[in-house]
Amino acid sequence: MTGISFEEIMFTIMSATQDTFKSYMNIDLLAGKVEKRVDPVDSDVTGIVGVAGDRVGYIIIATNRSSAQCVAKELLMVDEADEECIRDAVGELTNNIAGVFKTKYHEQYGSVALGLPLVVSGQLRTIADPPESEEQSSINVQCKGVTIPFTTADGTVSIKVMVYM
């Protein structure tokens, strides 16, 4: 297990994200520039799945409301997506990406377990970044990891996938 590089994990999560969008929604995603850190994100909807096994960490999917609505409509095959549909779709999307990641990771590297998806909204910031105000809600995450932006060619869907292990 020690021979697995973080770059291999990163490329696996990129492939898992693109495969999930293509398989479940027939949406082609383009990957943007990978940042070698978990960026502070102010998102309308964020899905989080814990990863356990020989490596532990999190897979985090963050997006804005319009992208979340588009995903919900396509994934759940509905005409309109209310708050519950959006939460369900982002949870399912995060779970599916983590599941594809788990399958690929298991095939190549061994045992991996996933937690249940958690769907939240608001600001994600690194532990080192102080909140702008005492009243601002946020989730603190470790800052070792990567952030991978994805978008469709027409810009209708834009998400950030963050992973740290």
Chain segment 34-60, per-residue pLDDT in tens: 888 776 667 899 999 998 887 788 899
Of all residues in the chain, the percent with pLDDT exceeding 70 is: 81
> Shortest CA distance to 87 belongs to which of 27, 115, 46?
46
Model pTM score: 0.83
Q: How far is CA 81 from CA 69, 91, 138, 157, in A?
A: 6, 14, 25, 15
H or E segment and range at residue 58 = strand 57-63
The rounded distance, in Å, linking the Cα atoms of 26 and 36 is: 29
Asked if residue 92 has pLDDT above 70, the reply is yes
> Shortest CA distance to 71 belongs to which of 30, 112, 27, 105?
27
Domains in the chain (CATH in brackets) are 6-164 (3.40.1550.10)
